[in-house]
Each structure stands twice: as structure tokens, then as C-alpha cells.
Amino acid sequence: MKFGILVNEGPYTHQASDSAYHFTKAALEKGHEIYRVFFYNDGVNNGSRLTVPPQDERNIQNNWTELAEKHDLDLVVCVAAAQRRGILDENEAKRHSKNADNIAPGFRISGLGQLIETGIECDRVVAFGD
């Protein structure tokens, strides 16, 4: 089965990010395809490379980055939601005259069209968070 994953909550304020990560990992281990993971609303905070949790806690951003690298996952952060929350890649930082970017490795910024495409291409889209 081909899944699309939608993550709507931030990594440390709600269980949704962890649930989405564990669902994605389990689906891949069972041989399913993950077409795309789309981060929307506060979920875009999963894509910040500036997250520094305490050493004895899980690092959900690193977990996503490692999973994406291992399975060649498409981790897409919604551009409008990201800009509102200060998540920028190099191009967006330049476009808005900011002196730094903070998108995590393995993530990319794009628009809602990527979410629509996910719904068209997948057998199921599973949403985590409100």
C-alpha cells in the first residue's frame, strides 16, 4: 500500500509527531511505500535544524532525518506555515532578506500542491494531529 503522511503538530507539544514517525517507520518495515511526509501548521517545527532537546530525550528531528536518509523519503514542509514560524531554507531566507536558514537535513520546503498531489497519488493519507 502507498501511504501519504500528514503531520500537523510540533515535535514537543503533542504526541502526533512521534506517532507519525513510528507509523511511518513500521509501515516501511512491513514493506509499504511512503510517498511523502507533509508537515503542516505547527508540524513544520519538526523540520528545524536548530532544535536541541536534552541529551536524555529523543530527538524527533534527527529521527526524521535519519529515516528519510535510510529510505529516501520526501519530507516536505509547507512554505506558508514554515514562514510564519521562522523555518526557512536557503532560498526562502534569501528571498526574504534573512541572514540564515534553519531547515533540517532531509527536509524541503514546498507548497500545498504537494499535499494535494499526495492525496491523488496515494492509497491512503494518514493525518496525525489536529
* Spatial separation of the C-alpha atoms in residues 130 and 127, rounded to whole Å: 8
Secondary structure class of 3 (helix, strand, coil): strand
Active-site choice (78, 79, 87, 122): 78
Q: Strand 2-7 relative to strand 33-39: parallel, antiparallel, unpaired?
A: parallel
Tell me the CB-side half-sphere exposure of residue 19, using CA atoms within 13 A.
Answer: 14
Q: Is 122 a catalytic residue?
A: no
Place of cell 496515494: 122
Q: If DSSP codes are grouped into helix, strand and coil, which group holds residue 23?
A: helix
Write out the three cell numbers for 4.
501519504
For residue 121, give every residue at least 6 positions away whose Cβ sits within 8 Å of its Cβ, in sequence order, or none.
Answer: 2, 4, 35
Residues comprising the chain, all counted: 130
- The residues carrying an active-site annotation are 78
